Homo-oligomer: A and B are copies of this chain.
């Protein structure tokens, strides 16, 4: 490995979430619309995005703990203690989320998306086109939801 002193990098917020989730994400968030206000500085990076029915939204979960390495998945104590890298829990060393959302509408630098699991005013750090992975018979732990 040579030097394996962990490096550090500067992440910049490129937009911000605007919705009604002030304290927690409701169970039926997949049906709700959130707005993403992309900062004017990055508006050019949206060129052509409306040709996609779905996009991948990456947020920085600024209210998540960064020091916990193991969790009971799905916040259910009956699920076995599991490393955060084996889950999609918001708690992790770099609290980055990745959610595929329906792109309902774009108005200038504002995106209306359906199914975003992020609280109001959460920083958005990246947006990508949606990529399908066609995987035959993936294997998951028993606690996994699907």
Contacts and interface: CB of A to CB of B under 8 A. Distances in A.
Contacts of A140: 51-53, 129-130
Contacts of A12: 6-9, 93-94
B94 A4 contact: no
B1 A7 contact: no
Given A52-B140, A52-B141, A46 B9 contact: no
Interface residues of A, number: 69
A47 to B, nearest CB: 4
Interface in A86-121: 86-88, 92-94, 96, 98, 100
A83 B43 CA distance: 9
Given A44-B83, A85-B45, A6 B14 contact: yes
Interface string A63-96: 0000001100000000011111111100011101
Copies in the complex: 2
A139 B102 CA distance: 10
Contact of A86 (B51, B81, B84, B139): B51
A18 B4 CA distance: 12
Contact of A11 (B9, B47, B51, B54): B9
Contacts of A82: 47-48
